[in-house]
Structure 1
Amino acid sequence: MTDNTAAALRDDYLARLDEAMRGLPHGVASDIREGIAEELDGLDAAATAERIASLGDPRGIAREAEDEVPSAPPLVHPAPMPAPPAPRTPMTATRGFAIAAALTLSFGGIVVPVIGWFVGAVLVSLSAMWRTWEKAVAILVPLVVTGLSFLVVSTMTGFTTGSASGSSTSGEVPPAANPLLPSFGEWHLLILLGFLLVPASGLWLLWRMRGRGLR
């Protein structure tokens, strides 16, 4: 056999070895190929054939190398991070709180006179379901109307009592009632109107709240 024959045997064996080790990691396959190539390098045709016979089938070499290659550790996928909890809606921004506030404003004064209404006014002012002007109308209008009614009635009652006492003492005839001023009974109706505005204001707030966000 000639040197050309030795080279052909060597190249054929290395080619078959490359094909058999295709599934091995590149570094492992490269080291094995270089080692076998060095063993076959410089041999004549007879020695090359003998050495190839001793090495055996390239597929056997590839299987042995595959058995010795440590298996890659399984990929560990990190557990997904839990989503941050959604921020809790403040109690004062809930629809239930607003309904309780409006009902307390309307009827709290009936259950606990005066104090119940003030509690309802505070709850309404804390609620986020109404605009500022809506709260102001619901709280101030009944308060102003009722307060002015009491003030006017007290003033008119004192004036009428003083006039009647002065007239009876001096013997003069009491002056006739001014038709332009409301009578005593009409002032009482005005006070009653102020009291009726209290429950009406809470019901008005409930009406204004319709269609707004449900929470």
Structure 2
Amino acid sequence: MTDTTADALREEYLARLDDAMRGLPHGVATDIRGGVVEELTGLDATETAARIARLGDPVAIAREAQDEVPASPNIVVAAPVSVAPAPRPSATSTRGFAIAAALTLGFGGFLVPVVGWFVGAVLVSISTLWKTWEKVVAIVVPFVFGALSLFLVQFMSFVEFSSSGSSSGSGTPPDDVVNNPLLPSFGIWHAVLLLGFLLIPASGLWLLWRLRGRTAR
């Protein structure tokens, strides 16, 4: 065989080797190819064919080299940590809402009778800046005391009217009924009723006092 044949065998083998080593790192593939070129340089066609036979299939060479290449460590890229903005407090947990609720409970009934007080009671009940017992005291106590006072005034007015009618029928002067020590003065019950209504604005002011130092939560 001629040198031309030897060159053709060498180039054909190197081409197959390059194709088999495409998946290898560049440095490893370069070293292997350089070693093979050194092995085949200076040989005639017969010696080249014999040396290629000893070197073996390029695919096997590439596979063996791949097994000897250390596995590259996996690079873990930490995902960026997004810091969520702090949630804004709800409207019912703010001091402004609580102040408006307390003022509506205390004085809303004077602006819009009955309805204004009920609106204030609802606002106070949904606010989160007061404890449950504070809400109960501010809403229930004035309501119960005012309702009881109104009932007592109406009841005593009815009793006095009935007593006055009986005394008139029997000829007893009406003045005796007014001075009857067994019946309290009509003015006292009106004072009790007034006290019951004064508890309503007092409850709103008490809630404002309890609100001191508290923040949205």
TM range (shorter): 0.5 to 0.7
Computed over aligned residues only, the root mean square deviation of the Cα atoms, in angstroms, reads: 2.9
d(CA) in 1 for partners of 2:159, 2:107: 34
Cα offset for 1:129? 1.2
Q: Deviations over 1:11-47 (max 9, x none)?
A: xxxxxxxxxxxxx94324423432343245879xxxx
8 A Cα contact 2:142 2:203, kept in partner: yes
What is the match of residue 184 of structure 1? 186
Q: What TM-score results when the alignment is normalised by the length of structure 2?
A: 0.63
- Is 1:198 the equivalent of 2:200? yes
Q: TM-score, normalised by structure 1?
A: 0.64
Instruction: Note the alpha carbon deviations across 1:42-92, whole angstroms, 9 max, x for none.
Output: 79xxxxxxxxxxxxxxxxxxxxxxxxxxxxxxx9x7983644454443322
1:182 Cα deviation after fit: 4.0
- Displacement of 1:213 in angstroms is 2.4
Structure 2 counterpart of 1:92, which letter? T
Q: How does 1:11-22 map to 2 (within 5 A)?
A: none
Deviation at residue 93 of structure 1 after TM alignment: 2.0
Give the equivalent residue in structure 2 for 1:169.
169
User: What is the Cα deviation at residue 203 of structure 1?
Assistant: 1.2
Number of the residue aligned with 1:69: none
Query: Which residues in structure 2 correspond to 1:94-133 (within 5 Å)?
Result: 94-133=94-133
The alignment partner of 2:180 has SS state of: coil
Query: Mind listing any 5+ residue stretches in structure 2 that lack a counterpart?
Result: 1-24, 45-74
**Unaligned 5+ runs, structure 1:** 1-23, 44-74
The 1-side partners of 2:37 and 2:172 are apart by 145
Partner deviation per Cα, 1:114-143 (whole Å, 9 max, x = no partner): 110010001111111111111110001111
Alpha-carbon distance in structure 1 between the residues aligned to 2:108 and 2:122: 12
Deviations 1:122-174 (A, max 9, x none): 11111111111111100011111111111111111111111111111111353
Q: Write the distance in 2 (CA, Å) between the matches of 1:83 and 1:30.
A: 50
- Once residues 160 and 170 of structure 2 are traced to their aligned partners in structure 1, the CA distance between those partners, rounded to angstroms, is 16
Q: Distance in 2 between matches of 1:149 and 1:41?
A: 125
Structure 1 residues 195 and 40 mapped into 2: Cα distance closer, same or farther (>3 Å)?
same
- Measure the CA separation in 1 of the matches of 2:36 and 2:133: 91
Q: How far apart in 2 are the matches of 1:116 and 1:41?
A: 110
- Alignment-mate amino acid for residue 193 of structure 2: I
Tell me the residue number matched to 1:154.
154
Pick from 209, 212, 215: which aligns with 1:210? 212
Aligned to 1:135: 135
* Percent identity over paired residues: 53
The correspondence of residues 12-91 of structure 1 with structure 2, limited to 5 A, is: 25-39=26-40, 80=80, 82-91=82-91
1:28 and 1:183 map into 2 onto residues whose CA distance is 117
In 2, Cα distance between equivalents of 1:213 and 1:28: 70
1:195 deviation in Å? 1.3
Letter paired with 1:148: L
Runs of 4+ in 1 over 6 A off after TM superposition: none
